[in-house]
Chains A and B, each alone.
Chain A
Amino acid sequence: MFWVSLFTMGRATNSSSSSIDSSSHPTVSSASSFPRLKRDLSTDLSLGLSISTSDHHYCPSTPREQQSDWPPIKTLLRKALAGEGNKCNDATFFVKVYMEGIPIGRKLDLFAHDGYHALIRTLDDMFSTTILWAEVDGVLHSEKCHVLTYEDKEGDWMMVGDVPWELFLTTVKRLKITRVDKY
């Protein structure tokens, strides 16, 4: 659910009842909503198009940031936040990912993920399987599952997830998804 919603709130209701349904996340709304709807629509679309990276690579120069009037934060404070190194970083770190049995590998930007959970989600999608890693150790039972391993700086193959994410980033060279029975 996104901030910018196509629902109108205030104007559509009578003054006698608040129709705020907490699950519908009404946002900038009301009779004056039409111009905002136009804007909302375009940002809704842009969010839709960039969905794969929207959570982690949020680049604040989208229309939504500059024209938004909620939450009530002063424009320049927002601009200062936009400059914050953490989120809008141009740096990338692509590593090769191979799935056992498939000769053609993929490439994945580790910097576009903020932790193991995000990485696993992306890999699950990319390879249409369920990836097992250190956090789900002990549940290695299904034949349809794969285990995620990585090659570290010393050339050893290790199971992903044992060390803190930041440390992992400094040592990983490539990823491999191995079949469970071989593990």
Chain B
Amino acid sequence: MDSKRKMDSPESNVLTRSSPFPDEVLERVLGLVKSHKDRSSVSLVCKDWYNAERWSRTHVFIGNCYSVSPEIVARRFPNIRSVTLKGKPRFSDFNLVPLNWGADIHAWLVVFASKYPLLEELRLKRMTVTDESLEFLATTFTNFKALSLLSCDGFSTDGLAAIATHCKNMTELDIQENGIDDLGGGWLSCFPENFTSLEVLNFANLSSDVSFDALEKLVSRCRSLKFLKVNKNITLEQLQRLLECAPQLTELGTGSFHQELTTRQYAELESAFNNCKNLNTLSGLWEATPLYLPVLYPACTNLTFLNLSDAALQSGELAKLLAYCPNLQRLWVLDTVEDKGLEAVGSSCPLLEELRVFPADPYEQDVVHGVTEMGFVAVSYGCPRLHYVLYFCRQMTNAAVATIVKNCPDFTHFRLCVMNPGEPDYLTNEPMDEAFGAVVKNCTKLQRLAVSGLLTDLTFEYIGKYAKNLETLSVAFAGSSDWGMQCVLSGCSKLRKLEIRDCPFGNEALLSGLEKYESMRSLWMSACNVTMNACRRLAKQMPRLNVEVMKDEESDDSQADKVYVYRSVAGPRRDAPPFVLTL
């Protein structure tokens, strides 16, 4: 590596070098810089630092797989061992992007096979991954250790079988929320009998049965296993046996938490949880009932993250459980806990930093339960450290939000979803402009914001004026005119991702951001008032942006139904399917 480097950068010979440090020292020091943002800054200091940084970097994070090509990445960073890649636009999570849109990992793997044969880790989000790719990955990279697939699609359990069969040094297999073809649980049995290196195993979202015998043996022999998240088919009785094998777990995702147990089995389960003193994260708990929740209590003392989004708990059950979780920092619940449950959160979890409340019945209009503004307010009084919220509700008021941000001024992520589009403040019947005005005025550290409810351009004036640290903004069914979007584009200097759907923003707004989009990762606009001509103009004037349009079946020729604009050094996509028009 030393000789290669010297040949590569003739300008860093002694006579012209500006830094008094030998390259090796610089590289050693910079090698300790982990954050990719810091590394980016480091690389801009001077040529020496740029080179030292690129040689010492082992992990690369690519937020948009189409912003760069694998060849360009490999040319700049010769020593990568770990890659994180994100693919499709976020709204693909909500069925707004058709299948076969792209973001296929295969082309990347082919380049990595020749440039990074020692690749160890691959973390993918919203990418398409086929079984062939997984097989290729498993058989090509002999040092491969960690695979994390979040919201990916295109593969089946056969691909997982290939990974289990061939990756002898696997430490992490994390399969979350994917559009996977579940052909059966046989993949788990493919881990060889002498395989013992696993530290992380998450198959919580797979629906078919794995062989419990194989699982139990796997867990027993992997003494370093720290994270285990099983699927719904694992029973309480089986869970108890797994916990007996692995009391050292720090993160646990249980299976189904509902089974008829004998008194003795209950006692054994309780004892198993009692031995798990290292748990900091707990999830799963499908169909949890008040009968069995108490077995968890002894394991909750050190819990910092409790994910109850699969367990439809009532307020009383939650309150009792939270009494045992004094150190909780992150909590995810379903709105079945109602405001009363959230009051319990406020009173039991003073250290809470993150709260996510999901709707149990998102499609029901006439629901009388769920959470309201009162629950959110109650949490804000009890949890002053709260800085991340995702809250689904059916009613909200401007006054409540003002109170919430007064109690918790440190919000970095404020995602409020009033589920009925265009819903006003239910007490005053006014738009919710003042609510989000209060958020951006009070919360100076705000990085991510999602707005909802009846909103006029005033909301966006506030955002543009006050949200100076805002990086991600999600807007749906809001705004009155182009002016709103223009305020955001001109005011939010740190904006990186803007995603908009069903808003009355049109060409003037789109084109007002001409200069801005190169400093952003991407812009998504769907079901707005943007025309094809405006998109063509944008594409023509900004050649370093990729402007892609997807048209809906029966819309008129001039309308640009879905627009996705992103900066790229790789030029237009070469793998775009026919329904993606690159302008």
Contact = CB atoms under 8 A, between A and B. Distances in A.
Interface string B194-209: 0000000000010000
A86 B312 contact: yes
A34 B504 contact: no
Given A15-B529, A32-B561, A20 B477 contact: yes
Given A3-B363, A20-B422, A85 B287 contact: yes
B575 interface: no
Contact of A20 (B95, B177, B417, B421): B421
A74 interface: yes
Interface in B240-293: 258, 286-287
Contacts of B456: 18
A74 B562 CA distance: 19
B501 to A, nearest CB: 8
B309 interface: yes
B393 to A, nearest CB: 10
Interface of B: 91, 93-96, 151, 177-179, 205, 232, 258, 286-287, 309-310, 312, 334, 358-366, 392, 417, 419-424, 429, 454, 456, 474, 476-482, 502-506, 526-529, 552-556, 559, 561-562
A130 B232 CA distance: 45
A181 to B, nearest CB: 35
Interface string A66-99: 0111111111111011011111000000000000
A80 B310 contact: yes
Contacts of B334: 81
Contacts of B529: 10-11, 15
Nearest to B364: A58
Contact of B503 (A10, A73, A78, A83): A10
Contact of A77 (B358, B363, B503, B556): B358
Contacts of A78: 362
Given A35-B552, A72-B474, 5 more contacts: A14-B504, A15-B481, A25-B422, A71-B419, A81-B362
A75 B93 contact: yes
Interface string A12-43: 01111110111001111111111100000000
Given A15-B529, A20-B477, A29-B527, A73 B359 contact: yes
Contact of B420 (A10, A25, A74): A25
A152 interface: no
A9 interface: yes
A70 B553 contact: no
B317 to A, nearest CB: 13
A74 B181 CA distance: 17
A37 to B, nearest CB: 9
A77 to B, nearest CB: 7
Contact of B527 (A10, A18, A22): A10
Contacts of A80: 205, 286, 309-310
Contacts of B392: 71, 73
24 contacts: A15-B482, A15-B506, A15-B529, A17-B504, A18-B480, A18-B504, A31-B527, A33-B527, A34-B553, A35-B552, A35-B553, A69-B94, A70-B476, A72-B93, A72-B94, A72-B474, A74-B94, A75-B93, A76-B178, A76-B205, A80-B205, A81-B358, A81-B362, A83-B232
